[in-house]
Structure 1
């Protein structure tokens, strides 16, 4: 007699805890920003997949489609424990918003600090057919206002994902022997063959793996421009436009778009090429803007060398980056005023 999966209660939140070890560190001993992003995605995937399987029917796995702007508020150090807490805060018919917080605990003193917070969007895909998006069980809201705010966030991210996909540009190869502090001088690429350890049970790349590769490339770009210790300060929305399958070759490319006196904005694009010629051709899979800052040996901010602009396209990207920088700065100031 065939057993029928039983309906189970939804989990309101999930927490992952892990001590940070030397292999999690960057070259100066802080925990790599890519590792934090990977842990955030793992927590989000667990709670959203659990929620989608609380009802009888087609079993599904939640796949990441977008990460909202992520702030790295405090560095995490080797020996500290990272507490990653995830909670579903909104659900539409076919997607979920997951809010994630990362607390860093010094287990010698017991002190804790907020290291990171992010909002992620997932869609549930059938285990039988990865191209089939299943329905999301509804969640309970504390009030009608809370549900309405969530709906506004949902509509906003949906529109931004579409706009981002339409404006993705190909990355040109830099000219030979580029001048220092130009876009071409620091532009960097990483080529990675997607293996089984990179993938979910669907045989598609785990979102956290992709984000870690993107952070690594952005870090190389920032280091080449500054030649100092650099750290991830924030990540603008990461948009996952298409899935990446096991066996594909991914090219992760980063280039500077804007530099202020204290920060660098780096556009990172993930392009996918099939290893087998009979499969579909090259395509854009993921895009994001990373912001890095330069630090001295005491982890104090350093001035960033100005970016030398060459050509109209670089000037246009610089102006667009400047607009994002000023907009984010205004949002931070508004948030600080609300908290006072």
Structure 2
């Protein structure tokens, strides 16, 4: 099928050993290291599907479900879940493996939105996606649904900004962990009318 690709054509797995220099002060692998590897595998997966240079446009929340230890192998498995016109969503599942005990942990999952670009940094259309299983259809629909939710949230944020009511907001957050210490508002300066002094 012209200008359509299967999910399998661009699926990518990156495996890397976690070395001591990747550790944080607590002795666990620094989250930034894993995030950097996720960005790398997202790029490879997206570029293989798009056949073009891709840039990261946004990243869904990355929730770390389990720590990664020094000496473990982590594998980052990336698949294209959804395509729009010039953008695509890459789903990434990260697992860690202790090579001695053979324990395998799911450490996190996230979704990277990538945009395809040409050599002039203009966006280009990406191939469509051929869905071959219930799971691929579910992932495509889930990514589409998230995109629609993001549109709604952006509109809500804009509405809240335009219709912000301080008293109502204080009432809603009064039981949260915050202390409101607002200084009294200064009185508005009196407006002077040019030439008024001369007339009096």
User: Is TM-score (shorter-chain normalized) higher than 0.5?
Assistant: yes
Measured after TM superposition, the shift of residue 331 of structure 1 is 2.6
| Residue from 205, 218, 223 that aligns with 2:47 | 223
Residue of structure 1 in register with 2:142 after alignment: 320
- Report the aligned-residue RMSD: 1.7
Measured after TM superposition, the shift of residue 302 of structure 1 is 1.6
SS at match of 1:197: helix
| Residue from 79, 86, 92 that aligns with 1:255 | 79
- What per-residue deviation string (whole Å, max 9, x for no partner) do you get for residues 245-296 of structure 1? 000011011111111112111111111110213xx61110111111001112
| Residue from 104, 108, 120 that aligns with 1:282 | 104
State how far apart, in whole Å, the 2-side matches of 1:229 and 1:332 are: 28
SS at match of 2:129: coil
Residue of structure 1 in register with 2:62 after alignment: 238
The aligned runs of 1:260-271 (5 Å cut-off) are 260-271=84-95
Measured after TM superposition, the shift of residue 220 of structure 1 is 0.4
State how far apart, in whole Å, the 1-side matches of 2:157 and 2:49 are: 31
Unaligned runs of 5+ in 2: 163-200
Measured after TM superposition, the shift of residue 201 of structure 1 is 2.8
Measured after TM superposition, the shift of residue 209 of structure 1 is 0.3
State how far apart, in whole Å, the 1-side matches of 2:95 and 2:161 are: 41
State how far apart, in whole Å, the 2-side matches of 1:247 and 1:202 are: 15
- What per-residue deviation string (whole Å, max 9, x for no partner) do you get for residues 111-147 of structure 1? xxxxxxxxxxxxxxxxxxxxxxxxxxxxxxxxxxxxx
Measured after TM superposition, the shift of residue 297 of structure 1 is 2.2
Measured after TM superposition, the shift of residue 335 of structure 1 is 4.2
| Length-normalised TM-score, structure 1 | 0.44
* Segments ≥4 residues shifted beyond 4 Å: 333-340
Residue of structure 2 in register with 1:332 after alignment: 154
1:192 matches 2:16: yes
- Shift in CA distance, 296/330, structure 1 to aligned 2, threshold 3 Å: farther
The alignment covers a number of residue pairs equal to: 159
Tell me: higher relative CO, structure 1 or 2? Use CA pairs within 8 A at least 6 residues apart.
2
* Structure number with larger C-alpha Rg: 2
| Residue from 132, 145, 156 that aligns with 1:310 | 132
State how far apart, in whole Å, the 1-side matches of 2:80 and 2:13 are: 12
Measured after TM superposition, the shift of residue 337 of structure 1 is 6.1
Unaligned runs of 5+ in 1: 1-179
- Shift in CA distance, 301/334, structure 1 to aligned 2, threshold 3 Å: farther
1:298 matches 2:112: no
